[in-house]
Amino acid sequence: MELRDKDITYCTGVGTKRAAVLRKELNVQTALDMLYIFPYKYVDRSRFYSIREITDEDAYVQIMGEIYEWKTVGVGKSKRLTALFADSHNDTVELVWFHSTQYVKQECGRYLLFGKPSFFNRSISFVHPELTPAHKVRPEMCTGLEPHYNTSEKMKTSTLNDKAIRTIIRGLLPDLRLGIPDTLPAALREQYNLIPLTDALLQIHTPKNTTEVQQARYRLKFEELFYIQLQILSQAKNRTMKSRGFLMPIVGRHFNDFYYHHLPFALTGAQKRVIKEIQADIKSGRQMNRLLQGDVGSGKTLVALICALLAADNGYQTCIMAPTEILAKQHMQTLSSLLQGTATHVDLLTGSTTAKQRQALHDRLRNGETDILVGTHALIEDEVQFANLGLVIVDEQHRFGVAQRAKLWAKNVQPPHVLVMTATPIPRTLAMTVYGDLSVSVIDELPPGRKPIRTRHYTNMFREQVDRFIRDQITEGRQIYVVYPLIEQKKDKDGNPLPEESGATLADLQNGYERMLRTFPDCTVSMVHGKLKSREKDYQMQLFAAGKTQILVATTVIEVGVNVPNASVMIVENAERFGLSQLHQLRGRVGRGADQSYCILLTDVQLSKETRKRMEIMEATNDGFRIAEADLQLRGPGDLEGTQQSGLPFDLKIASLSTDGQVLEQARQAAINILENDPELVAPEHQMYAYQLRKLKNKAQNWAEIS
């Protein structure tokens, strides 16, 4: 039976129970799927360490030595088994087992120890190390590169650990050696110097040396990125062929009046450039699909307004969508004050617009009186009809799902131009992969006169200092944010993440709030979280925005867009639970006024290496792009949890968007060449591509189309 037809259940070392876990956790159905579970690293088992050589840079080490004592310590839940292990220099480490201790033979003697060192104070310990009695150590165990596989918590509890995965995969190799059909035609392989699939899979799981690993990785990465590019580009081609766009060539009175008489400050160079790029799009005759990236505070709102004015000059309406009611209202305020004294008309539609207001609004929209409509999701659900909707601007794109946007476009016969604005910078490689041929504009310059935010990381031991700092800032008239992490995120009926949800952290939040009240008895404190009624949330936010409360304790409700220039301190609690880009977003809430602003990241004392790295990056830079790159790099492709969190529409099993930019460019070029001559992939020599694409399509949805 071919490997791709062989059910994983019947592979050596699997069985019904393990198969169920493999299916659920790794989406492995067949023997071939199993071979696509790639090692995330290799450990050189030819090297032996002595204990004094170990540093915290070493992920895994093996040591030959002697166990001279076994002990069971603690009671109940903290009960554990420990052993003392010494090497030839008589340096000692502690070995620890927390559960499954009945499987450990508690015998003293010589062992080969293999495991992951953990450091506490000055001493080193090994949790659940692999022990092989010295007389059972065979030479082949300690040669060459040993592959290591990622496993989830669930897998570990069903004894599907790293070693078990390795054993299962080894069991499949004899069949693999007989050869499997390739997924790339020989001609393409030759052109790009790619080894055959069979060899690649053999080499990735049992490499003789690092060259073999590199060859295998390159071939597999290329294949992965190539098919994603082929898919995205062929869809994008279909789209551009179909979509004609509204023509907006005129620069008229809406724009000119605002630009020459009401613009409160000079545009930055970056704002000007981006506006020109957009202008070129909307007079091209094709529908615009543009992503506008600009760090928090870079002035995207103004760009949105100017584009809306251009649309108005050509007789088209614009709608600007914000992810939350608070933000929609804030946009409304900003726009109406900017447009005061002009003839441009803005309206607001949110969930709390009354039926009566709505009626009047509908009339104004239908008869074209409204030039710009600002709104929330209500805009999509509502039976609003535009006279002539020509431009849709979506603010903070990550909060809107594809399905939601599609509904809005459905309000038109011809799709409007689309501008998606995001403050979460997307590295170039990622943008290319996720959005295919989507055009990207970048505002890479902040308005003049901003003071860079100072960021410091403190552990909980330094709470008192932090409190004192808060006190000083409040005395100087500043306001303070205190933010708690969100643990679970609820989804709406379309499967899109809801704007905010505090869930399991509510208790923490409540405690934090009470602590603030106790520590600063003479201050007023607001609290907002996702479980509050929208009216209450708004009320609390307004109190803070108006300077009536000094401290705002919140969940990530405030992550997006809220603008309170007098708030100059952002305290992030449990900062270890936030990803880099989220921390950066949070930090962007301060630094909006003339005063020096601060961001304080509070964490536990014990931190993983990765968390410490995250904190260091936050302290080191304010640049959103550098942070996004670092974020990608910290979450490697092999990191199970990482890929899930990154929000990618597809699983990358081996390629890394952070480090494989070059492979991506090559794969993309290969895909472009093929599609150029045969956009529908109908040529006989392209049937292998068409077949693979159909397989891929069943798995992923189409993200190339943002409209």
Binding-site ranges for ligand ADP (CB under 6 A): 265, 267-268, 271, 294, 296-302, 423, 447, 563
Q: CA-CA distance, 676 to 668, in Å (whole number)?
A: 12
Q: CA-CA distance, 110 to 411, in Å (whole number)?
A: 75
Is 115 near Mg ion (CB under 5 A)?
no
Which element (helix H / strand E) includes 232? Answer: helix 210-242
Q: CA-CA distance, 100 to 118, in Å (whole number)?
A: 20
Residue 649 contact partner, candidates ligand ADP, Mg ion, none, CB within 5 to 8 A by sort of partner? none
Residue 344 contact partner, candidates Mg ion, ligand ADP, none, CB within 5 to 8 A by sort of partner? none
- In this complex, which beta carbon is closest to Mg ion, that of residue 396 or of residue 705? 396
Residue 296 contact partner, candidates ligand ADP, Mg ion, none, CB within 5 to 8 A by sort of partner? ligand ADP
Supply the minimum distance, in Å, between the C-beta of residue 337 and ligand ADP.
10
- Residue 378, C-beta contacts closer than 8 angstroms, at least 6 positions apart: 349, 350, 351, 353
C-beta separation of 426 from 436 below 8 A: no
Residue 299 contact partner, candidates Mg ion, ligand ADP, none, CB within 5 to 8 A by sort of partner? ligand ADP
Q: CA-CA distance, 216 to 393, in Å (whole number)?
A: 44
Supply the minimum distance, in Å, between the C-beta of residue 483 and ligand ADP.
17
C-beta separation of 146 from 42 below 8 A: yes
- In this complex, which beta carbon is closest to ligand ADP, that of residue 393 or of residue 617? 393
Q: What single-letter DSSP state applies at residue 416?
A: P
Q: What single-letter DSSP state applies at residue 62?
A: E
The number of beta carbons lying within 10 Å of the beta carbon of residue 703 is 18
Supply the minimum distance, in Å, between the C-beta of residue 320 and Mg ion.
11
Supply the minimum distance, in Å, between the C-beta of residue 308 and Mg ion.
15
Supply the minimum distance, in Å, between the C-beta of residue 338 and ligand ADP.
8
User: Binders of Mg ion: how many residues, by CB under 5 A?
Assistant: 1
Residue 294 contact partner, candidates ligand ADP, Mg ion, none, CB within 5 to 8 A by sort of partner? ligand ADP
- In this complex, which beta carbon is closest to Mg ion, that of residue 423 or of residue 599? 423
- Residue 253, C-beta contacts closer than 8 angstroms, at least 6 positions apart: 313, 343
Q: CA-CA distance, 411 to 226, in Å (whole number)?
A: 35
- Residue 615, C-beta contacts closer than 8 angstroms, at least 6 positions apart: 457, 575, 601, 603, 607
Q: What 3-state class would DSSP assign to 491? A: strand
- In this complex, which beta carbon is closest to ligand ADP, that of residue 550 or of residue 585? 585
Supply the minimum distance, in Å, between the C-beta of residue 573 and ligand ADP.
23
Supply the minimum distance, in Å, between the C-beta of residue 617 and ligand ADP.
21
Question: How do 61-73 and 109-115 pair as beta strands?
Answer: antiparallel
Q: CA-CA distance, 488 to 501, in Å (whole number)?
A: 7
Residue 298 contact partner, candidates ligand ADP, Mg ion, none, CB within 5 to 8 A by sort of partner? ligand ADP
- In this complex, which beta carbon is closest to ligand ADP, that of residue 297 or of residue 415? 297
Residue 207 contact partner, candidates ligand ADP, Mg ion, none, CB within 5 to 8 A by sort of partner? none
Closest C-alpha to 626, from 397, 453, 430, 425: 425
Torsion (CA) 443, 445, 451, 452 in degrees, nearest 10? 70
- In this complex, which beta carbon is closest to ligand ADP, that of residue 448 or of residue 521? 448
Supply the minimum distance, in Å, between the C-beta of residue 448 and ligand ADP.
6
Residue 436 contact partner, candidates ligand ADP, Mg ion, none, CB within 5 to 8 A by sort of partner? none
- In this complex, which beta carbon is closest to ligand ADP, that of residue 150 or of residue 376? 376
- In this complex, which beta carbon is closest to ligand ADP, that of residue 176 or of residue 327? 327
- In this complex, which beta carbon is closest to ligand ADP, that of residue 297 or of residue 638? 297
- Residue 128, C-beta contacts closer than 8 angstroms, at least 6 positions apart: 96, 97, 98, 115
Residue with the CB atom nearest Mg ion in the bound state: 561
Supply the minimum distance, in Å, between the C-beta of residue 420 and ligand ADP.
13
C-beta separation of 372 from 335 below 8 A: yes
Per-residue contact flags (x/-) with Mg ion for residues 528 to 567, judged by CB under 5 A: ---------------------------------x------
Which element (helix H / strand E) includes 335? Answer: helix 325-338
- In this complex, which beta carbon is closest to ligand ADP, that of residue 174 or of residue 448? 448
Supply the minimum distance, in Å, between the C-beta of residue 129 and ligand ADP.
50
The number of beta carbons lying within 10 Å of the beta carbon of residue 157 is 12
Binding residues (CB under 5 A) for Mg ion: these are 561
